[in-house]
């Protein structure tokens, strides 16, 4: 059996230490801010990025670069390895389609290599949990096709819910109307959002006030994480847009309520933060449904 390399993109928001420890390859997503293009979170600290947004800067996200993606794939192929590429949602970016095109071209050049691509229909911590599961299965001796099959069969059971602090960024990205953003801000409405089975971001409800919106993330998790899925939740992800105290407080509540020892608190990288904005909190875990 040929060795295989797991590759993902930086929108998985995996901690750098984990990426290095597991020898993962990451394809960078890009962010344009003040005329400067950044790869993933490289070159700009997330806290600085969100501070600039709070000061009124309006950055833009950019999809992966085909040439860079090809170079990353070749790195594995030239080492004699197959590839399992685990991607950011195709419905939220053109990145998956770019990677799939690169993979198809390289299959012709490397006919003996296997290049499997998985569209997670997810992002950030939800994508990270699928990558981590793939790594775990690889370490346990599963084949590339076994892991690919498992990801396809179970990716719609990774639940990703989030709340945002400022409706302006959702409005700017076309997620809500300008009127809704203005009215919602005036009466302190905090939306709850989820990624659907189709990989689209849609409303999951609204509450009034920040504390209630974060508490509702926990309540939705309690309702959705039934017994059959608890065993998969050895790790849960809490991602945030420069609000570490609130994210860590939520992580502590998850540990206490569900007895989950490993709650991974991570930054929402700038490429996603462009749309979610400062103060966003995202919760990802395995559950009965998205």
User: Quick one: average pLDDT of 227-240?
Assistant: 93
258 pLDDT exceeds 80? Answer: yes
Q: Contact, 265 vs 13, CB < 8 A?
A: no
DSSP string, the chain: ---EEEEEEGGG---HHHHHHTT-EEEPPEEEETTEEEETTTTS-HHHHHHHHHTT---EEEPPPHHHHHHHHHHHHTTT-EEEEEE--TTT-SHHHHHHHHHHHHHHH-TT--EEEEE-S--HHHHHHHHHHHHHHHHTT--HHHHHHHHHHHGGGEEEEEE-S-HHHHHHTTSS-HHHHHHHHHTTEEEEEEE-TTS-EEEEEEEESHHHHHHHHHHHHHHH--HHHHTTTTEEEEEESS-HHHHHHHHHHHHHHH--SEEEEEE--HHHHHHH-TT-EEEEEE-S--
Q: How many CA atoms lie within 13 A of 252 on its CB side?
A: 6
Q: Is residue 168 very low, low, confident or very high in pLDDT (cuts 50, 70, 90)?
A: low
pLDDT at 187: 44
CA atoms within 13 A on the CB side of 250: 31
What confidence category does residue 227 fall into, taking pLDDT thresholds of 50, 70 and 90? confident
pLDDT of residue 20: 97
Residue 41 clears pLDDT 80, i.e. is over it = no
Mean pLDDT for the stretch of residues 144-167: 93
| Domains identified in the chain and CATH numbers | 4-155 (3.40.50.10170), 157-286 (3.30.1180.10)
Residues 177-210: pLDDT tens digits? Answer: 554 444 444 446 788 889 999 998 887 888 888 9
Q: For residue 121, what pLDDT band results from cuts at 50, 70 and 90? A: very high
Tokens of 213: 């919106």
pLDDT given for residue 49 in this prediction: 96
Specify the higher pLDDT residue, 61 or 70: 70
Say yes or no to pLDDT of 162 above 80: yes
Cα–Cα distance, 166 to 54 (Å, whole number) = 10
Query: Residue 25 pLDDT more than 90?
Result: yes
- Model pTM greater than 0.85? yes
pLDDT of the residue at 157: 96
Higher pLDDT, 192 or 248: 248
What integer pLDDT is reported at residue 165 of this predicted model?
Answer: 81
38 has a pLDDT exceeding 70: yes
User: Is the pLDDT score of 211 beyond 70?
Assistant: yes
Residue 72 falls in which region: left (phi positive, over 0), alpha (psi -120 to 50) or beta: alpha
| pLDDT above 60 (res 81) | yes
Cα(173)–Cα(98) distance, integer angstroms? 21
pLDDT at 172: 59
206 contacts 181 by C-beta, under 8 angstroms? no
């Amino acid at each position: 059996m040929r060795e295989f390399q797991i590759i993902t993109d930086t929108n998985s928001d995996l901690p750098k230490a984990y990426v290095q420890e597991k020898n993962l390859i990451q394809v960078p997503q890009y962010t344009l801010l003040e005329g400067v293009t950044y790869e993933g979170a490289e070159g700009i600290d997330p806290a600085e990025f969100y501070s600039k947004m709070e000061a009124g800067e309006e950055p833009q996200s950019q999809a992966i670069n085909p040439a860079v993606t090809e170079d990353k794939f070749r790195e594995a192929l030239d080492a004699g390895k197959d590839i399992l590429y685990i991607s950011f949602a195709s419905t939220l970016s053109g990145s998956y389609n770019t990677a799939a095109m690169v993979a198809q071209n390289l299959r012709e050049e490397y006919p003996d290599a296997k290049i499997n691509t998985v569209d997670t229909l997810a992002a950030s911590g939800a994508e990270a949990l699928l990558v981590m599961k793939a790594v775990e299965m690889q370490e346990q001796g599963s084949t590339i096709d076994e892991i690919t099959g498992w990801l396809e069969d179970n990716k719609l059971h990774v639940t990703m819910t989030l709340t945002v602090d400022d409706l302006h960024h959702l409005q700017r990205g076309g997620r809500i109307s300008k009127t809704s953003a203005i009215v919602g801000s005036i009466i302190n409405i905090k939306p709850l959002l989820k990624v659907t089975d189709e990989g689209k971001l849609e409303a999951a409800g609204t509450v009034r006030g920040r504390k209630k919106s974060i508490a509702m993330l926990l309540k939705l998790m309690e309702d959705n994480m039934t017994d059959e899925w608890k065993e998969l939740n050895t790790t849960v992800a809490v991602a945030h847009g420069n609000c570490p105290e609130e994210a860590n407080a939520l992580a502590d509540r998850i540990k206490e309520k569900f007895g989950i020892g490993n709650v991974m608190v991570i930054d929402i990288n700038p490429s996603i933060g462009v749309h979610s904005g400062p103060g966003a909190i995202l919760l990802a875990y395995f559950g009965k449904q998205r």
